[in-house]
Structure 1
Amino acid sequence: MSNNKVVLIVIDALRFDTACTHMGFMQHLVERKMAARYKVCSEVPSLSRPLYETILTGTPPIVHGVVSNMITRLSTQTSLFHVAQQNGLTTAAAAYYWVSELYNRAPFVHMEDRLQLDKELPINNGLFYFEDHYPDSHLFADATWLLDNKQPDFLYVHPMNIDDDGHKYTADSAQYRNRVLATDGLLSLFIPKCLAHGYEVIVTADHGMTSDGNHGGTTNEDRHVPMFVISNRVKPGIKDETVSQLQVAPLCCYLLNIKPADDMVSLLVDGIRPTAKI
């Protein structure tokens, strides 16, 4: 079976409950039997850099060692970018600069590393931002440029404005909820382009946000995030089970039709349709 192409969108700090109540376009896809919706429980600590690494390598913080936002170094694990490259696939990312520090270069040099177009790096085509208020509209425009001009097999997209507003105003605020609405509107423009280009799409988050305007703890508000999957290889509808965040990486490998890295867990997600062996 030939390889499929996948877009993984990780929306920073998008809570599960707010996604369910304020993402009308994503819910429309679920109701029209175009997408599956899952509840994902993040690893802990529910912090950004550790969970970027967890999502992209399929390993928990105690294994990958990135247990704090203050750890700045390249990953020691085999990420989705690495395993895609090992299988002859091309990769790209429009993302926060911590993603570059995990997989391309560390530390990030702000005046040199924003644009990284290098086929020898795990992220072959990287457009990286370094301010939390960098507009999500610009980020999705960056991702669209990568989609149109580089046509990567695996594209990682990582907007930050929901997290930024959550820290400024808390999750119990009109600003946070309105930002979720705005991001849903951007997805309504971006996802149809992905589908027109023949991509499978996963939309999820690293962690949630609390009414204190923070995250890092063990509550449902910290840890429960959504995962929407748009693929003819996953049965659509609302799934009742809570999925481990460790499942995101092997799910991406399944959709890419490549073998997962050795340290990734077995894929155990409800609704997976049988496919030919890799």
Structure 2
Amino acid sequence: MQNNKVVLIVVDALRFDTACTHMGFMQHLVERKIAARYKVCSEVPSLSRPLYETILTGTPPIVHGVTSNMTVRLSTQNSLFHLAKENGLTTAAAAYYWVSELYNRAPFKHMEDRLQLDTQLPIENGLFYFEDHYPDSHLFADAAWLMDQKQPDFLYIHPMNVDDDGHKFTADSAQYRNRVLAVDALLSLFIPKCLAQGYEVIVTADHGMTSDGNHGGTTVEDRHVPLFVMSKRVKAGIKDEIVSQLQIAPLCCYLLGIEPSDEMVSLLLEGVQS
């Protein structure tokens, strides 16, 4: 397998239906045969910390043991960060501090752990924020700095403002929908930069958001999220079948050119070209 560079963007609490109706740039990429779009069904509970771990390790909560947002400890699994490093690839993240607590240090020390650069940890270069309203625009600027200055092979990006506005105003609000529009606008600036630097790009979400302004349950509003893939090795266009969230980690391994962990499921994603 050839090695490639991958950017994985997880937009916290981005519902599938809202992504389809309010992400004009992402739909443009689909229509112009640059991106593939899938509907993903998340694992449950549809909560943030358990699903960060699921996305990044390819294992369900009953296996990885992070079953609650209150589970504060390092991961016990082989994450994409661990696997990349074991294969001689470099890693970076611009993300919420819970990601640092899963893979670098737990608990997070706010006055010490925001900037973690040139480390020997699984996330070698990390810029971590700890306020849910930390602007997504700043977060993508953080990611752009990491890309330009550190040139990681695997870069993880995790904006939080969609989730923040969903909790404040519910998924049925103008504020939630407008925030999705705003993220799409940021992606219209950031994704061309990624493609120009030779990265393959995945955009997805951990969970959705309900009309009650929450998530954690089993409804399609809680669980159905988008998956956009920009890669020459994944056929572009809209895919109709619902896919498991467990497919994201082995997809990342495939695009990075590394072997998945033994705990990951086999990659069975429509349109993946060997």
TM range (shorter): over 0.9
Q: Give the superposition deviation at 1:141.
A: 0.1
Find the counterpart in structure 1 of residue 51 from structure 2.
Answer: 51
Q: How does 1:125-274 map to 2 (within 5 A)?
A: 125-274=125-274
Q: Is the partner of 1:108 in helix, strand or coil?
A: coil
Residue by residue over 1:95-125, the C-alpha shift from the partner in whole angstroms, topping out at 9 and shown as x without a partner, is 0000000000000000000000133100000
2:256 counterpart letter in structure 1: L
Q: Give the superposition deviation at 1:78.
A: 0.3
Residue by residue over 1:165-218, the C-alpha shift from the partner in whole angstroms, topping out at 9 and shown as x without a partner, is 000000000000000000000000000000000000000000000000000000
Which segments of 5 or more consecutive residues in structure 2 lack a partner in the other structure?
Answer: none
Alpha-carbon distance in 1 for matches of 2:233, 2:214: 36
Q: Is the partner of 1:72 in helix, strand or coil?
A: coil
Find the counterpart in structure 2 of residue 16 from structure 1.
Answer: 16
Alpha-carbon distance in 2 for matches of 1:244, 1:113: 33
Give 4+ residue runs of structure 1 displaced > 3 Å after superposition: none
Residue by residue over 1:10-44, the C-alpha shift from the partner in whole angstroms, topping out at 9 and shown as x without a partner, is 00000000000000000000000000000000000
Alpha-carbon distance in 2 for matches of 1:243, 1:152: 28
1:42 counterpart letter in structure 2: S
Alpha-carbon distance in 2 for matches of 1:197, 1:4: 11
2:183 counterpart letter in structure 1: T
Residue by residue over 1:52-84, the C-alpha shift from the partner in whole angstroms, topping out at 9 and shown as x without a partner, is 000000000000000000010000000000000
Residue by residue over 1:141-168, the C-alpha shift from the partner in whole angstroms, topping out at 9 and shown as x without a partner, is 0000001000000000000000000000
Which segments of 5 or more consecutive residues in structure 1 lack a partner in the other structure?
Answer: none
Q: Aligned pair count?
A: 274
2:135 counterpart letter in structure 1: P
Residue by residue over 1:241-272, the C-alpha shift from the partner in whole angstroms, topping out at 9 and shown as x without a partner, is 10100000000000001000110110000000
Identity of aligned residues (%): 86
1:112 counterpart letter in structure 2: E
* Root mean square deviation, CA, Å: 0.5
Alpha-carbon distance in 1 for matches of 2:152, 2:242: 30
Q: Give the superposition deviation at 1:94.
A: 0.1
Q: Give the superposition deviation at 1:2.
A: 3.4
2:106 is the counterpart of 1:99: no
